[in-house]
Amino acid sequence: MMGTFKDRVGSLLRRSVSLEQVFSRVRDYKFSMGTSALCALFEAVVVVLEEDFYIDIGFDESAVFRFMFLFGVTALFSETCFMGKKWLKLLGLFSGVILSGLITCFIGVGRESLLFGIKGVFFYKKAQELMAGCIFLMLVLTVYFCYRKETARFEEYMLNLLVNWLIVFSMYVILLIGTGLVCSCVDTLFFGGGSSIVTVSWILLSGFFLIPGGILALNGRNRAAKDLLMTPVQYVLSLMAVCALVSVYVYAAGILIRREFPSNEVFSILTTLFSLGMPIWMVSGSLLKESRYSRLMASLPYVFAPLILLQIYSIAVRIGEFGLTPNRYVGVMMIVFEGGTLLCWHLGRSRMENVLLIMSGLIVLAFLMPGVNRCRLSERQQQAWLKKYYQAAQKGESLSQQEYNRMWEAYFYLKERTPKGMAGGYDDYSVDILQKAGEGLVEVDGQQNALGKVDRYSVHGCQLVGGFSVEGFKTMHMLEEADEQPEPDFSAFRFRLRGTEEEITVDISDFAKKAMEYIETNPKADKEEISGYLRSFNRIDVGQGRILYINHFQISYDKGIQDGKDYFKWGGVRNISAIMLSSGEDAVEVSGN
């Protein structure tokens, strides 16, 4: 009896110690975990107010969530780096408040408004880039500093971390299912199935369990991790990675034999292979007992190394053909990271945590470094191309098709994708040069050859509504396009009532068909001619006493024959707006997003 009592007391004491360790780690991360809980509470309240009580909270809730999320990441970074250093931690938290507030304010600036004489879209783009860079950098460094507090090897720590996260996520899924079932019963029995209680429970579960659990897993020690994952890593994932590596080598050999240009997918495939394969090879080559198999796994990074040359060739050709863009810049940084990782593996296999420092440096360079970050460097290179080829064409110099393509790509990139709209300085020149460049681009993308020809068609009709009678109508609404899909469905086209989130679906397929037929029959028609034609049938009766007038209609698409087959692809700018008149009391029958 006394022995049983002692065993139970000892068990309770051990549990108390374990709980005390958990509570101690919670205290270490109280700001980041507290922010996670506050985010969940805020989102839950917003959902209840808007969906259950139909109350408009009157401000942009995404701005509040963005501030709290960014501060939470900053708090996690500060609490990890400055654990036990009270004043440094407080300084980091205070800096996080300022950083989060500034980024949130600049992202919230209206895109067309002016701030310090500069369009708001400039601050919006720059703040987004800064936010992404800060988040990536702080998360990577958080993992690095957590590892530095451990005694295990880097590969073993990452394996432990993966197991801990898998355990947390598995428990989260189980809790999701359980709370979903319970809350569904409550919703059905007490609210008739019309409440948001299930959604709210899942939001709270994410903020109060998933995020805190993931944070605790950073410092968790799971001795069973190696035994749990070593078998699938050794016998399943490693062999799958080897098979993928062999497949890529076979493909590369085929390219050399047939002397073909590598497809666009090669770079992404090789990047994915490295991202998934390298950790597996590191773990297998470092943690397995010395054997022929472990030596084989340790040599696989060297087998991958020659494929980096294929990546370099693939992205260099595209940069040379179409210029530098932020995505291609990141591709170059990925190649540098792969090379740095292989160098660490070769020179300092016992210090593989240095790959996190390499990644941090590349994140700073790509997102945060003034003058050479991915956006600024892309803008400068595209500006140089546009200026060079445009001025040459204006002087009447002969340009190759490739040079016309480069000019069009540069113009489109600067006009559509940069915060300043840097191509605007060239809008005063003749459009004939750009039109020719655009046609040349379609020929290259469409692989124009003896088997066919692909043409670019652009329909642009504006100010289609002049004067019209409003007799018999009670309400009028301005409608703007709500359909953001790359391939529009004109038979059920979605409009949004301007200034609201309310939408209406209208069949404008007949209008679109006539517009496309006209431009294909009259490909040289200018904007005035197109607008004059579209005005003759821009009035659409949508029923229930409602009349819709198309006011602005702009679409672009490629159509023709490619490789002996019909070819059609949407592309370019799409901008469609309309005016709705209604004879009823309500303007339109609408549905929320």
pLDDT at 232: 60
Residue-wise pLDDT for 158-176, tens only, equals 888 888 888 889 899 999 9
Q: Which residue has the higher pLDDT, 463 or 368?
A: 368
CA dist 293 to 29, 277, 300, 349, Å? 41, 16, 11, 18
Q: Which residue has the higher pLDDT, 476 or 121?
A: 476
How does residue 9 score in pLDDT terms, banded at 50, 70 and 90?
very low
How does residue 529 score in pLDDT terms, banded at 50, 70 and 90?
confident
Give the type of residue at 166: L
Contact 436, 404 (CB under 8 A): yes
Q: Is the pLDDT of residue 82 over 60?
A: yes
pLDDT at 28: 86
pLDDT at 45: 93
pLDDT at 354: 92
Mean pLDDT of the chain: 80
SS3 for 219-287, per residue? CCCCCCHHHHHHHHHHHHHHHHHHHHHHHHHHHHHHHHHHCCCCCCHHHHHHHHHHHHHHHHHHHHHHH
Q: Which residue has the higher pLDDT, 92 or 247?
A: 92
**Domain locations along the chain:** 20-217, 225-369, 392-445, 456-582
User: Rounded CA gap, 504 and 514, in Å?
Assistant: 22
pLDDT at 580: 86
SS3 for 102-167, per residue? HHHHHHCCCCCCEECCEEHHHHHHHHHHHHHHHHHHHHHHHHHHHHHCCCCCHHHHHHHHHHHHHH
Residue-wise pLDDT for 23-35, tens only, equals 777 888 999 999 9
Q: Which residue has the higher pLDDT, 7 or 505?
A: 505
How does residue 565 score in pLDDT terms, banded at 50, 70 and 90?
low
pLDDT at 348: 75
Residue-wise pLDDT for 376-403, tens only, equals 999 899 888 888 888 887 777 777 777 8
Provide mean pLDDT across the span 149-154: 84
Q: Which of 187-196, 462-471, 553-562 has the lowest mean pLDDT?
A: 462-471
Tokens 């979903």 belong to: 180
How does residue 535 score in pLDDT terms, banded at 50, 70 and 90?
confident
Residue-wise pLDDT for 435-476, tens only, equals 555 554 444 333 333 334 678 888 888 878 776 667 777 888
Of 505, 514, 502, 507, the residue nearest 555 (C-alpha):
514
Residue 366 DSSP symbol? I
81-90, 120-129, 343-352: which has the highest mean pLDDT?
81-90
pLDDT at 587: 44
Provide mean pLDDT across the span 499-517: 87
pLDDT at 593: 39
Q: Which of 51-65, 124-138, 342-356, 501-515 has the lowest mean pLDDT?
A: 51-65
User: Rounded CA gap, 208 and 217, in Å?
Assistant: 14
Provide mean pLDDT across the span 64-71: 94
137-151, 275-289, 395-409: which has the highest mean pLDDT?
137-151
pLDDT at 337: 96
pLDDT at 247: 81
Q: Is 347 exposed, middle or buried (0-12, 13-18, 19+ CB in 10 A)?
A: exposed
pLDDT at 289: 67
Distance from chain centroid for Cα 1: 63
Q: Is the pLDDT of residue 277 over 70?
A: yes
Residue 216's contacts (CB-CB under 8 Å, 6 or more residues apart) are 22, 25, 26, 29, 168
Provide mean pLDDT across the span 399-418: 76
Q: Which residue has the higher pLDDT, 587 or 182?
A: 182
76: number of Cβ within 10 Å: 25
pLDDT at 588: 46
User: Rounded CA gap, 498 and 309, in Å?
Assistant: 51
Residue-wise pLDDT for 252-269, tens only, equals 787 777 766 666 678 888
Q: Which of 232-241, 418-427, 521-530, 575-584 has the lowest mean pLDDT?
A: 418-427
How does residue 318 score in pLDDT terms, banded at 50, 70 and 90?
confident
Q: Which of 2-11, 223-232, 561-570 has the lowest mean pLDDT?
A: 2-11
Of 224, 139, 213, the residue nearest 176 (C-alpha):
213
Q: Is the pLDDT of residue 20 over 70?
A: no
Residue 203's contacts (CB-CB under 8 Å, 6 or more residues apart) are 40, 43, 44, 47
